[in-house]
Structure 1
Amino acid sequence: SRGLGFVFKQFFVKESDSTRFEKGLLQVVVLAALVHAIVAVLQSIEVLSNYNYFFKTTGLFTNPGPFGCYQSFALAALLPCILLNFGSFKRTQKILSVIAVLLLLYGLILSDSRAAYLAVIVTVMVCLFLRFRSRIKINMIYIGVLLLLFSGLLFVLYMHRPSSANARLGIWKITVQAVGQKPALGYGTDGFQRTYMLKQADYLTNADDDMRRSADEVKTAFNVPLELLYEQGIVGLLLWCSIVFLSIKGILESTDNKNTPLLFTIISFLVFSLFSYPHQIWGLTCPFIALLSRGGYDKTFIKVDGKTETKVLSGLEISLLSALLLLFVSRIQIDRNLIRYSRFDMDYQEVESYHTVNSILYHSPSLLFFYADNQMLMNDYEAAISTITQYKKYRNSYTFERNLAYSYEITEDTVKALEHYEVAHAMCPGYLEPLFSMFLIYESRHDNRAVSLAKEIVDFSPKVVHSRTDAMRGRTIQFLNTIKDD
C-alpha cells in the first residue's frame, strides 16, 4: 500500500501542473509545522501532555526528531522567502512573517534536534549564496574557511550529546561493514529492519565492553542514503541520486525562478536525512516526493494524440484508485478483527478464518506486530509463536526475539527458548532480561550453567538500571548464597 501511495502521489503531482499547487503545498507544510510548534510550546509549559515519557516536547509526534524535521522543513520554505522579499512586504505581512519565523525557531529549539539545526543552517547558507553569488569570488581560501566553519559546527553538534552521536557512528560502522557483503544490489526492500540486528549481533561478538553495553535496538540507520545503499545497493543509490539531481537541476535552470522555494525545502530534507529517518514518516516523505516531482523536467518523450493521452491517464488513475480502495477496505476489516480480538469479542480461530484479508495481514509488519502483541496479552502463546515467526520474515528485533523466547518458555520448549534468549542477548548485550531468563531455565533444570550465569549477572553492568534489574541481581545473589550454604 505504501508503494502504491507513493506512485499515486507522484503521478497526481506531475499532472497537477499549477503554480497554485506548489504554493499551496508549501503553505500546508508551514501551517502543519506551526501547529506542531504551538503544541510543543503548550507541552513545554505542561498545558498539554507529552507523547513520550523520555522527552519534554514532541509536537504531535511520539519523538522530537520528526517534529524537528517539520520545523526545519517549514523554515526552509519560509525563511529564504522572507530574507529575499521582506522589504516588499506590507506591514501586516511583515508582522505575521516575523511571528511565524519566531514560533518555528522556538519550536526548533524545543525539538533539540541536531539534524534539524544543521538543516536550517545549511539552507540559509545556500539561500545567501544563491542571492549573492554574482558578488562572491570562489577561491581556495573561501572554500577552506567554509570547510573550517562547517567542521566546527559539526563538532559543536557532536559535543551537544556525544553519547547519542557515538551510538549513531556505531550504527553507521556496522551498516557500512554489512554493505561490503552485498554492495551491488543490497539486501532488498525493508532489508535493513530484516537483517541489521543480526549483523549487529555478529559485530558485537568481538566489540569492546562499552560498545556492547551501549548497543540498543535499531530500526533505522539514521542516514537515508546509507540505509538506501544497504537495501538497494550501489545501483539503487545511484538511481535515487539521479532523481534528486535532475529535480534540483530542473529547479536551478528554471527561467522564471518560480520553483526556487522548492529548492530550499528539498535541501533541508536532504540534510536532515543524513542524520535521521524522515523517510519513515509519511507526513514528511509525502511532501518531499511532491517537491521532487514539481522540480523535475516536464518533457514528453512519447508523442500521442490528446484523446489517447486522456484515456491512458484515466485508466491509470482508475487502476491506482481501485487498488488503493481495495487495500483501504481490507485494512479496515483487518483492524476491526484485531480490535475485536483484543477485546475478547473474537478468538484466534475466528480471526484466522478471514483468509482473503489475512493474506494482507501476514504481509504487513505493523499489523503482525500488533497481532502478536495482543496474542501474548491474551496468553495465546502458541499462536504468538506462529505470528512472530512470520513477523521475523520482515523484521528482526531484540523485543520480538525476547518475546519469541518467552513464548517458547511458557509452552515448555526450553531448548528453543534458550536459543532465542541467546540471540536476544547477542543483539543487545546491555540488557539483563535475556541473561536472567536463561539463568532461571538452567536453575529449574538444576544445570551447573546456572551458577556461571548467576556470577555473570552479579558482575553485570546493565545499560539501564531500575528496580527490575536490582531485583534480578538480588535473586541471583540469593541463589549463590544458597549454593555456598549447601
Structure 2
Amino acid sequence: MMTRAIVFLGGCMLLLSQFQVTDGLYGGIDTSNYFALLLGAMVAIVCLVKVPKVLYRGDAMVFVLFVYLLIHASLTHAMQSREFYLSLSYFALYAVFRVIRAMLLANYVSFAVMFGGIYQSCLVLGQLLGYGISNHLRFVVTGSFFNPGPCGIFLAGVFVLAVAMMKKGYRKVGFNLMFVRYVTACVTFGVTLVAMIPTMSRAGWIGALVGVMLLYRGEIVSWGNTRRRWVIGGGIVGMIIVLTLFYLLKKDSANGRLFIWQNTVSAYWKTPLFGVGIDGFERAFAEAQHDYFEKEKVLEQDNRHVEMAGVVESAFNEPLALFLLLGAVGGVLAAMVLFFKLQRLTAYSCVAVALLVASFFSYTFYIPSIAIVFLFAVAQLPDRRVRGGRYVNVLMFGMIGVVVLYFNFREYGNRWAYREWKKRAVYYTQEDYESVIDDYERLYPILKYNFKFLFEYGHSLNKAGRYEESNTILEEGTAHSADPMFWNIMGNNYLALGQYGRSETAYLRGYYTCPNRIYPLYLLVKLGAAQGDSVKRNYYGRIMLGKRPKVASMAVDEMKFEIRKMLTIND
C-alpha cells in the first residue's frame, strides 16, 4: 500500500511541479519547468534500483538511441545545451515508467495524470471566467503554460487517457480501485473536454480526434461492415472538411508553419545523415531562411513568403525536427522504437498516438509536462521479449540512471546563475551596461548556450565600446538563435571599427534572415551615409521607404521619416 501511495504522490508531484513558477530565476515558466524536470528525473531514478527482469526489443532500441545521443552530443559539442539535459531527463523518466509497469503500478500514475488534467482544466476555466490571469498578453487562456497551444495539447493527451479509462469501465462489486478510476476518468473527461475548446489548439484537437477514433476503431469497423463504402467515403470527406476548417481557422498561422517546414527540410538536406546537433535547430533554420530569401532576391523584388518570415525557435513538427537535429540515423532509431512499441494498439497506444499526431503541428516535446504524459504512455505499451535479458537490463537501466544523475546534478547546481542573471538583468534593462559586464563575464561559462544571455552580454559590450569582444560573444549567439539583431549589432561593431565591408555583410545577413524587418535597411542607409557613398545611401534608402514592415510601429515611422528627410536634403 505504501508503494502505491508513493507512486501516486510521486506522479502528482512530477506533473504539478511543471505547473509552478519558481521566483527569482530568469526565464519564468520556461526555466521553472526545466529545473523542475531535472530534479524530478533525479528523484524518480530511485525507482531504477528494481529493474525489469525481462528484456524487450523496444527497451533495447531506446538504449541504442540513448547511446547515440551521448556520442552525437559529444561530437557536436552540445553537452551543455538545454536540449541535451531535457533529452537525458526524458530517457530517465521512460526507464522509471518501465519499472513502474513491471511493478504493475501504472494505474496509480494514470490517476496522477488525470488529476493533473483536472487541475490544468480548472486553471483554464478560471482564466476564461476572469478568476485568473493568463501568462500571455494576446490570449485569454493559457493554463499554467506560456501559450494556449501547449495547454491544449496537454489536455488532449489527458482527454484521450480519460476516454480510455472510461471505456474500460469497472466491475460492479462495490467501491474498489476500478470504480474510483472510472469516476475519476468521467470527471476528467468532462472538464478537459470543456477546457480544450477555448485553447483553440488545432494540433490538440486533431490529436484528440485521432486518439478517440483509434480507441473506438472496433466499433467503427463493425458498424461499417454493412455500409463499408459509405463509411470509408464519408470518413475521407469528413477528414478533408475538418482539416480544411482547421486550416481556415488560422490561415496565416498554417501558411507560416508550411513555410517553416519548407526551410527545415532545406536545412536537413545539408547534413542528412547525422544532423546539425541536438542544439542546432535555430542556427540551421536561420541559415536556410537566409539562403532562401537571398536566392529569391527579396531586397529588390517582392516575395509572398516575406510576411511569413520570423525568428523561429521550433520546427512546429517534432519528427521533422528530430531528423534535422540527429540526422537520418537518429530519426530511424526513434522510428524503430515506435515500430516495436505500436505493433499492438492498446488504450495507452491511443494516448501516445494522439500526442504523436499533435507533434506534427507543434513543438510538443519541448514542453516537459506533455513529454511526461507521452513517455508514460509509451512505457506502458506491450512489446516482444528477448531471451536472457535480466543482466542486460541491469546494464541499460543502470547506465541511464548513472549518466542522468551525473549530468542533471551538475546542471541543477547551476540554478544560481539564473538567479544572478535575473538580478543583474535589471541593470541591463535600465541601460546601465557598464554595471553588468563584469557580472555577465562571471556567468558566461554557465550560460554561454543561452542566446538571450549572449545577446544581453554582447549588446552591453557594444554599448561599452568593446566592439571586438562584443562580436566574439554575438557570433556565438548566432549559433543558438535565428534573431537578426545579433547580426545588426555585429554590423554596428564593424562600423565603429571602420570595417565597412564587413559591416555591410552583417547588415545584409540580418536582413535576409528576416526580410520583413526595416531596421537592417535603416542601418544600411546609415552605413552609406557614414562612408560618404551617396549611391549606396540612396539605393538602400529608396528600398527601405518602399518596404512594408510586418508590424507597423512608431519606431518604424520615425526611421522612415529620418531616412526620407536625409534623402530629400541630399537630393
Tell me, yes or no, whether TM beats 0.5: yes
Question: Which residue in the other structure is 2:279 paired with?
Answer: 190
Q: Secondary structure at the match of 1:389?
A: helix
Distance in 2 of aligned mates of 1:47 and 1:412: 57
Query: Structure 1, residues 118-144: CA drift from partner, whole Å, max 9, x if none?
Result: 111111211121345455439565433
User: 1:42 pairs with 126, 134, 138, which one?
Assistant: 126
Distance in 2 of aligned mates of 1:172 and 1:469: 30
| Residue 171 (structure 2) pairs with residue 107 (structure 1) | no
Distance change (3 Å), C-alpha of 1:78 and 1:458: same
Distance change (3 Å), C-alpha of 1:387 and 1:47: farther
| Residue 534 (structure 2) pairs with residue 450 (structure 1) | no
Distance change (3 Å), C-alpha of 1:359 and 1:47: same
Distance in 2 of aligned mates of 1:153 and 1:312: 44
Distance in 1 of aligned mates of 2:308 and 2:482: 19
Question: Which residue in the other structure is 2:50 paired with?
Answer: none
| Residue 418 (structure 2) pairs with residue 335 (structure 1) | yes
Question: Which residue in the other structure is 1:429 paired with?
Answer: 515
Distance in 2 of aligned mates of 1:395 and 1:302: 47
| Residue 137 (structure 2) pairs with residue 53 (structure 1) | yes
Partner AA of 1:479 in structure 2: M
On the 8 A contact 1:341/1:348 being kept in 2, the answer is: no
Q: Secondary structure at the match of 2:305?
A: helix
| Residue 378 (structure 2) pairs with residue 295 (structure 1) | no
User: 1:22 pairs with 106, 127, 138, which one?
Assistant: 106
- Per-residue deviation, 1:394: 3.8
On the 8 A contact 2:92/2:400 being kept in 1, the answer is: no
Question: Which residue in the other structure is 1:157 paired with?
Answer: 246
Distance in 2 of aligned mates of 1:4 and 1:290: 15
Partner AA of 2:290 in structure 1: A
Distance change (3 Å), C-alpha of 1:326 and 1:248: same
Question: Which residue in the other structure is 1:257 paired with?
Answer: none
Question: Which residue in the other structure is 2:210 paired with?
Answer: 122
Question: Which residue in the other structure is 2:569 paired with?
Answer: 482
- Per-residue deviation, 1:337: 4.8
Query: Structure 1, residues 238-272: CA drift from partner, whole Å, max 9, x if none?
Result: 221221121122x53xxxxxxx3312210111110
The percentage of aligned residue pairs carrying the same residue is 19
- Per-residue deviation, 1:18: 4.6
Distance change (3 Å), C-alpha of 1:405 and 1:36: farther
**How do 1:402-441 and structure 2 match up within 5 A?**
402-406=488-492, 408=494, 415-441=501-527
Q: Secondary structure at the match of 2:380?
A: helix
Distance in 2 of aligned mates of 1:412 and 1:61: 46
Question: Which residue in the other structure is 1:211 paired with?
Answer: 305
Distance in 2 of aligned mates of 1:333 and 1:294: 37
- With structure 2 as the length reference, what TM-score do the two structures score? 0.72
Q: Secondary structure at the match of 1:463?
A: coil
Distance change (3 Å), C-alpha of 1:57 and 1:377: farther
Greater displacement, 43-52 / 67-76: 43-52
Query: RMSD of the alignment, in Å?
Result: 3.4
On the 8 A contact 2:282/2:479 being kept in 1, the answer is: no
User: 1:167 pairs with 256, 268, 279, which one?
Assistant: 256
Distance in 2 of aligned mates of 1:210 and 1:40: 36
- Per-residue deviation, 1:155: 0.7
User: 2:154 pairs with 63, 67, 70, which one?
Assistant: 70
Q: Secondary structure at the match of 1:276?
A: coil
Distance in 2 of aligned mates of 1:92 and 1:66: 28
| Residue 94 (structure 2) pairs with residue 10 (structure 1) | yes
Q: Gaps spanning 5+ residues in structure 1: where?
A: 253-259
Distance in 2 of aligned mates of 1:361 and 1:13: 31
On the 8 A contact 2:159/2:188 being kept in 1, the answer is: no
On the 8 A contact 1:71/1:116 being kept in 2, the answer is: yes
Query: Structure 1, residues 215-260: CA drift from partner, whole Å, max 9, x if none?
Result: 11222221111222223333332221221121122x53xxxxxxx3
Instruction: Count residues with an aligned counterpart.
Output: 467
Distance in 2 of aligned mates of 1:413 and 1:286: 51
Distance in 2 of aligned mates of 1:129 and 1:311: 39
Distance in 2 of aligned mates of 1:23 and 1:453: 65
Query: Structure 1, residues 145-189: CA drift from partner, whole Å, max 9, x if none?
Result: 322221111111111111111111122223333434444333333
- Per-residue deviation, 1:99: 4.7
Greater displacement, 96-105 / 449-458: 96-105
Query: Structure 1, residues 313-339: CA drift from partner, whole Å, max 9, x if none?
Result: 66764554244222322x134335534
Partner AA of 1:176 in structure 2: V
Distance in 2 of aligned mates of 1:162 and 1:425: 25
Q: Gaps spanning 5+ residues in structure 2: where?
A: 1-84, 428-433
Query: Structure 1, residues 29-77: CA drift from partner, whole Å, max 9, x if none?
Result: 3322332322222323443332222222211111111111111111111
On the 8 A contact 2:511/2:517 being kept in 1, the answer is: yes
Q: Which has the higher contact order (CA 8 A, sep 6+)?
A: 2
User: 2:319 pairs with 225, 245, 261, which one?
Assistant: 225
Q: Secondary structure at the match of 1:16?
A: helix
Greater displacement, 181-190 / 464-473: 181-190
User: 2:551 pairs with 448, 459, 464, which one?
Assistant: 464
Distance in 2 of aligned mates of 1:408 and 1:99: 62
Distance change (3 Å), C-alpha of 1:272 and 1:406: farther
